Every structure is written in C-alpha cells, then in structure tokens.
Amino acid sequence: MTPHPTIKDILQQAPRPQAGSDATGRIRERMLSEFRTVTKSAADRYNTTERHSFSSLLVTKHYMIPILIAAILLLGTTGTAIAADQALPGDPLYGIDRALERSWLGLSLSDTSRADRLLHMAEEREQEIERLRVQNRFDDVTQAQEHEQQALQNAQQVINRLQAEHTDNGNSSEALTNVAQRFGEISSRFQEREQEHVQSGQSDSDDDDADEMNENSDSDESPSDDDVDETEVNGSDNAAGNVNREQEQDHNRNQNLNQNVNHEPEQSQEQEQEHLQNQNQNQNTNRATNTDQSHSDDPDDEADD
C-alpha cells in the first residue's frame, strides 16, 4: 500500500460487500429454473403454431372468417358464371348468362368497345345456334336467332353513330373500321343462315305445290355496302299464305339488318313500300304479280315453283 494513494485508489479500494455463496447459488438456481420455464413455454407455443397452423388460422384468427366466407362466395359465383357461360337458350342458367353479358356490356368504356362487345354477343349466339342444331333443339334456335339479330341491330346503331361522328370530325379510327368490318362479316353469315332457312321453308312449300315465291335482292353499287333485299312473296292459298308469312318475317329480319351505315334511307323506304304493296297484291289476288324491274333481273334471286 503506497503512503500517498490517489483519491481514485482510495475510492476503488473501499470494501465491496458481496452476497454469500448460499444466496448466490440459491438465486442462480431460481433464475435458471425460471429460464427453463420461459424457454419451454416459448418452444411449446412455436410447436403448437406449426402443428396446428391451418386450424389455428380458423380458430384463433377471427379476422380470417369473413375472408374465408368471401372466398367461398367468390368461388361459388365464379363457378356459376363459368357454368352459365356454357348455357344454351332454354337452359336454366341461360338467363344468368345473358345477365352477365349485359353487365359486361355495361362496363364498356367507349362506344367502340360497346359495339365490339355486342358483336361478341352476336358471335356467341352463332355458336349457340350451331350447338342447338347439333342437339336438334330447333325451337330454341329461333330464340338464339332473335337474340343475335337484336345484338346486331344494337351494334349497327352504335356503329352508325360513331361513323357519323367521325365523319363530322374528319378523322377515322382503325378500331371503328375493324368493328364495322366485323359487323359486315357477322351480318353476312346471319343473312346466309336466314336465306338457308327461307329456302328450306320454300322446299316445304314446293311439296305442297301451292306457292310461288320470288325473292329478289338488290345490291348497292358500293362493294362495301350491305345489300337491301326485296322479297316478293306470292301465295295462292292459306297454306301458302302461312309459308309466305314466315318468309315475310325472315325477310323483315334481313331487311332490318341490311340497312348499312352507307345505305340511303330514302331508297330503303321506297323499296320497302314497293315490297309491301306487292305483297298485299299477291295475297289478295292470288296471282303472280310483276316484280319490280330493277329487282327481277337477277335470275339467281328468283325462286321458281
């Protein structure tokens, strides 16, 4: 010990009381026992979480319940929608299919998109018609045809308006051109099917040997324009009259669809009036009438007995 210790030495060399070994060991053992308990419970919690991960998700995570319900509803709705998409006219889910289509149509962001979706609906009806014919469900074919015609008419209105707007603005849209072209293709297919239907009806009437039907069509000079058909039906008796009425309905459907965007409305009205006049004469007098000279020149459009 130095005779002149520093202050720091004196302070540091002050007596330092210590706990006895008994107390030290006892407290140490108590602490380690607690440590083991804490460690074991933590491990148990971890293992429980791992072992029952999914069940604990359901039981302990209460916020997962609404999520699971929503997922089940979503899966159910999606499954129904998929099943409804495959439904045909006359099927129980066909109404849902149509409702979904209308909802999808309502979500269109532009008129061009709306026309495109209407054409998509018409194409779906085409496919349904084919499937219905394969299944020999001809009654339902008529319903599908009406729906296809309706979709085409709506699409035509939208396309007409868009083309008028683009003409006013002096610019054109490639998307609109594509939609109009697609509309022409689908309309042509629709007309072909209708014509086949008319011809098949005519064959039936030939068997009855009672009808005389002339169907003339007139084409516009412009190759891009759709035709405006003039159909003339001559009937001699009631049976023939029934067939003629069917053909008249088909004709009216064709005529409505054939009003193209470039078609002259005045010409269409004139032709329609002429057609109606001729039709009335045929039904009343039961004799063949002279057809309009401009429509009878084409021998392909004539339907002979």
Partner 1 sequence: MEHHEGDIQALVQAAQAGDEDSAGQLYDAFFQRIYRYFLYRVSGPEIAEDLTQTVFLEMVRSLPRYKQRRAARFSTWLFQIARHRLIDHYRQHRETEDIDAVIERTHIELRVDPEESAYDTRAAAVWQALERLPEKYRSVLRLAYVEDLDAQEIAALLGITAVNVRVLKHRGMQQLKDSLTTPTL
Does the CA dihedral 38-44-47-48 come out positive or negative? negative
Binding mask 6-25 for partner 1 (x = CB under 8 A): -xx-xxxxxxxxxx---xx-
Considering beta carbons, is residue 29 or 208 the nearer one to partner 1?
A: 29
Interaction between residue 170 and partner 1 (CB under 8 A): no
Interaction between residue 284 and partner 1 (CB under 8 A): no
Q: How far apart are CA 253 and CA 192, in angstroms?
A: 12
Minimum CB–partner distance for residue 52 and partner 1 (Å): 21
Considering beta carbons, is residue 34 or 305 the nearer one to partner 1?
A: 34
Interaction between residue 39 and partner 1 (CB under 8 A): yes
Minimum CB–partner distance for residue 57 and partner 1 (Å): 23
Interaction between residue 62 and partner 1 (CB under 8 A): no
- Residue from 30, 52, 161, 287 binding partner 1 (CB under 8 A): 30
- Residue from 38, 59, 70, 74 binding partner 1 (CB under 8 A): 38
Minimum CB–partner distance for residue 112 and partner 1 (Å): 60
State the residues that interact with partner 1 by CB under 8 A: 1-5, 7-8, 10-19, 23-24, 27-28, 30-32, 34-36, 38-39, 42-43
